[in-house]
Amino acid sequence: MARSVTGRSATGAPRRRALATAVFATVLVIVPTLTACSGNPLDAARDQIGSAVGDALSDATGVDVETGTDVPADFPASVPLVAGEVTAGGSVSANGGTTWSVSIVAPDAVGPTFAGIRAALVAAGNVENVAAETADSANGVFSGEFSVVVTLKPVDAGTEVLYVVTPIGR
């Protein structure tokens, strides 16, 4: 491992960002699971877990993590989102950059939902770099002002869509 003169890892910043991203992804899996039980005491537990994880990560790494069940307030307006119920949203800010994540349940099946997302992202000026679709899932990577990764899977209420948005060059 590379060491700097102070004895700290010269690769600390990328590792902190990788750790933050991993923890953030874990939170995004846990929070929607708990939101399925809305209207009961699990709502408070979900909020406390998200807050505690974000605070602990920020204290340990200097990385700012925001989680919740809404689209983050600073989410890029130039990235169109599918219509539906937002089940999780958050951001990780580190080293001058922010990565946003939003999970939405859209009412339609995977195929039509993915077609609409692709059309909206391309109409907004993005280039489709990769797209893969099966009978029960779809994934796409788009680039423009931001890198947009979209993952879709069927759920009882329609299609769960996960967006991960990162500024190009980060």
pLDDT (tens digit, 0 to 9) for every residue of the chain, 170 residues total? 443 344 444 455 555 555 555 555 555 544 444 444 444 454 444 454 555 555 555 555 556 667 788 999 999 999 999 999 999 999 888 888 899 999 999 999 999 999 999 999 999 999 999 999 998 999 999 999 999 999 999 999 999 999 999 998 75
Residue 159 lies in a domain: yes
Residues forming a β-bridge with 139: 132, 151
- Domain range for 154 is 12-167
CA distances from 170 to 62, 144, 167 (A): 17, 13, 6
Hey, is 121 helix, strand or coil? helix
Residue 3 lies in a domain: no
Residue 57 lies in a domain: yes
Query: Using CB atoms within 10 A of its CB, is residue 5 exposed (0-12), middle (13-18) or buried (19+)?
Result: exposed
pLDDT on residue 34: 44
Residue 27 lies in a domain: yes
* Predicted TM-score of the model (pTM): 0.68
pLDDT on residue 93: 84
| Count of domains forming the chain | 1
In the block, tokens 């902190």 appear at: 16
Sign for the pseudo-dihedral over CA of 57, 59, 64, 67: positive
Biggest distance spanned by C-alpha atoms of the chain:
56
Residue 78 lies in a domain: yes
Closest CA to 80 of 121, 128, 127, 138: 121
- With a CB cutoff of 8 Å and minimum separation 6, the contacts of 9 are 1, 2, 3, 15
Containing 98, the helix (H) or strand (E) segment is strand 97-106
What type of residue is 120? A
Question: How long is the chain?
Answer: 170
| Alpha carbon distance 62, 110 (integer Å) | 38
pLDDT on residue 106: 97
Residue 36 lies in a domain: yes
CA distances from 3 to 12, 16, 137 (A): 10, 15, 43
- Six token digits for residue 123: 């109409």
Residue 129 lies in a domain: yes
Residue 77 lies in a domain: yes
